[in-house]
Amino acid sequence: MTRCLKAGPAGLPAAGMKKPRDARLDALRGLFLIIMAGVHVPTPLSHVFQDPLGCNGAAEGFIFLSACLAGIVYGRTYWQSDWAAMSRRTWKRAWQIYLAHLGVLLPVILSVWVLAQAMPPLANHFSDFLVHPWGSLALMPLLLHQPPLFDILPLYVIFLGTTPWLLALARRRGWGILLVISALGWLAAQLKLDARLISDPARWMPLRWGSFDLLAWQFLWVCGVAMGETSLRRQIVGPQYRTALVAAASTIVLAALSFRWGFWPQAWRYPDIYLWMDKWTLGPLRVLDFSAWAALLLAWNPHLSLRWLAPAALLGRNSLAVFSFHLPLVIAATTFIQMVALPNTWQTVTGLLVIALLFAWAAGWERYKRRRARTLAAKNVKPSFPPTPATV
């Protein structure tokens, strides 16, 4: 009994014991980072990288997977310790992501302020900022002005900041009621009720919320945290349901893939169907297709060779550093492509070079972390950051 109490529910390891990382999860995050970079640099390959899995893209996978890992990591801390310890760890990570966001955004935005007149592509990309530079600068630390491409990390900061309360409410009331409330919020976003309620505050100040509808995308985060935390206590999918789940999910996945890659019968292509695939409000068909992919991978539970997973897993283990690095990199690459008017071949080379630089950056960052960890260990000092961050 004593061992069970120390281990927590479903045989969780005792506090201080580390569970090995799952390279498959890191590899998935690395794959999503590659897809993002391929989409963000305008090249002939951008169309290939845009929603390659059907009716959903890298953003959904990246946010959901990060939410699952948050549920696992901070849920385990909650079970092994208490709410105070879990919330401190969660908010420390949210603070790190917030500082990374500002650490990348402010130098970029100040450079744009200086170079915009000489580089029209930069002026176009940051047009909202250049119209009201001082007001925008004041709102950026509050996450109320988010230029294009700089709206994903604020999403994480907000969602991760609310995660301790999600876990606490789930402990008291269960995930069912939270998922119902979250789904109602997503439905309100589909009906544009949030836009009607908020109206247009940008009329009074240079607000820029970002492209992602917060009320819609919170549903993906809540589902991910719920799945991650629940997996600590029991199996998500029982063996008796796996065959049926794989069959149903595979049908949806194959239908979405056939639609995305042009194999869907033209007579079935209704113009209004694209309204149901809207990325920014997380349209119903995107949710359905993504749910099918998640169910398929969960029920199938494939095991791949670590040798094949290693390159993408390298990016996934260093996701925050890689994502932060990719933002100024893709802006510089896009500006270069548009300023020089590169032909398609050299656009493609530039896009592939950006992706290659992500691997070089991740390798260098990992070596730096290991060297710093060894130095601190020799001095018997605890690192200020985990050697391999578990979440974004």
Give the tens place of pLDDT for each residue, 16-75: 455 667 889 999 999 999 999 999 999 999 989 999 989 888 999 999 999 999 999 999
Reading the block at residue 153, the tokens are: 């990390």
What is the phi/psi pair of residue 125, to 5°? -65, -35
Measured CA to CA, the distance from residue 235 to residue 26 in angstroms comes to 21
Average pLDDT over residues 108-131: 93
Work out the percent of the chain whose per-residue pLDDT is above 90.
Answer: 69
Q: How many residues does the chain have?
A: 392
Give the pLDDT band (50/70/90) at residue 305. Answer: confident
> Which residues touch 199 (CB under 8 Å, ≥6 apart)?
none
What is the phi/psi pair of residue 294, to 5°? -65, -45
**Would you say the C-alpha torsion 127, 132, 138, 143 has a positive or negative sign?**
negative
Task: Map tokens 């950051």 to a residue.
Answer: 385
Give the pLDDT band (50/70/90) at residue 387. Answer: very low
CB count in 10 Å sphere of residue 356: 11
pLDDT surpassing 70 at residue 198: no
**Whole-model pTM over 0.85:** yes
Are 67 and 221 in contact by the 8 Å Cβ rule? The answer is yes
Check residue 267 and give its pLDDT. Answer: 63
Reading the block at residue 341, the tokens are: 């008017």
